[in-house]
Amino acid sequence: MNGFRPLGPIRPYFAVLALTLSLAACERAAPSAAAPAEPAAPPDLAQGPVAATLSADGRTLAVGVAERSLEEGAAEFFNQRADKFDKVAILAQGKRDDVYQALVRAEAASDPKRDGGRCRDGREVVLRHLEFNLGSMSMTSNQDLESCLRRIRVVAQRRSADGGFEYDLEKTDDDGSTSPIYLRYDGKDYVRAAAH
C-alpha cells in the first residue's frame, strides 16, 4: 500500500476541534443580554412662564404671566368651603400662539361647617385649567375637580408617558353610595412655549 495509513483516530479529533471552534464563534457573535431598559420618565410640564403666587396670609392666589393674571380669594376658589390656601402647584403649562395654558392644583383644609359637615375630616382639592389669551386679553377658567374626603375623593394619581395626568376618583352621594370617576389631562395639550 504506498505508505498511507488510515486516518481513523485523527478524524474524530478534527470533528471535535471544528465543533469547538464553531461554538466559540457563536458565543463571540451572540450579543450580550442587555438589562431591560428603564421606562423614560414623563416630561416635566410644570416649568414655564406661568407662575402661581400666594399672598402672605394665604387667602389670595394669583396665577398668570406678566401681561395677564387671575387673582382670586380662597373662599371663591373653593366655592365657600375654605378660606385659606394650604398648597398651590402648577402641574402643567404651555403656550400655543398667544394663548398660555396652565393646570393648577390647590389644596386647603375643609370648612367643618360646610355641606353639613361632610368634609370636616377631609381636604379640599381643586384642579383648574386656565387659559390666558394675550391677543384678545381674554381669560377662561374651568374648574375640573372639586374634591374632599366625603364628596369626591382622589383615589390614585398617575403620570402618563406624555407628561399628562390621570386621576381615579370616587364620588360619594348623599345616600352614601359611591361611583368611580376617571379624569385625564393629555400632556400634548400643554405645548412648550416657543422661544421668541
What is the rounded CA–CA span in Å between residue 166 and residue 186?
Answer: 8
- C-alpha radius of gyration, the chain, whole number: 32
Cβ-contact 75, 57 below 8 angstroms: no
More confident residue, 195 or 86: 86
pLDDT exceeds cutoff 60 at 18: no
What is the arrangement of strands in the sheet containing 99-109, beginning at the earlier edge strand? 87-96, 99-109, 123-133, 138-147
pLDDT digits (tens, 9 = 90+) for 118-171: 666 677 888 888 888 888 777 777 777 777 756 777 888 898 888 888 889 888
The set of cell numbers assigned to 69 is: 393674571
Residue type, 175: D
What is the rounded CA–CA span in Å between residue 162 and residue 94?
Answer: 13
Domain boundaries, the chain: 51-189
Alpha helices in 78-167 (DSSP H): none
Cβ-contact 152, 170 below 8 angstroms: yes
pLDDT of residue 31: 52
pLDDT of residue 112: 75
Could you tell me the pTM of the whole model? Answer: 0.66
Cβ-contact 183, 164 below 8 angstroms: no
Average pLDDT score over residue span 176-187: 87
Strands 99-109 and 123-133: antiparallel
What is the rounded CA–CA span in Å between residue 72 and residue 99?
Answer: 20
pLDDT of residue 73: 94
Nearest to 189 by CA among 107, 61, 100: 100
pLDDT digits (tens, 9 = 90+) for 24-78: 555 554 455 555 666 667 777 788 889 999 999 999 999 988 888 889 999 999 8
pLDDT of residue 72: 92
pLDDT of residue 13: 45
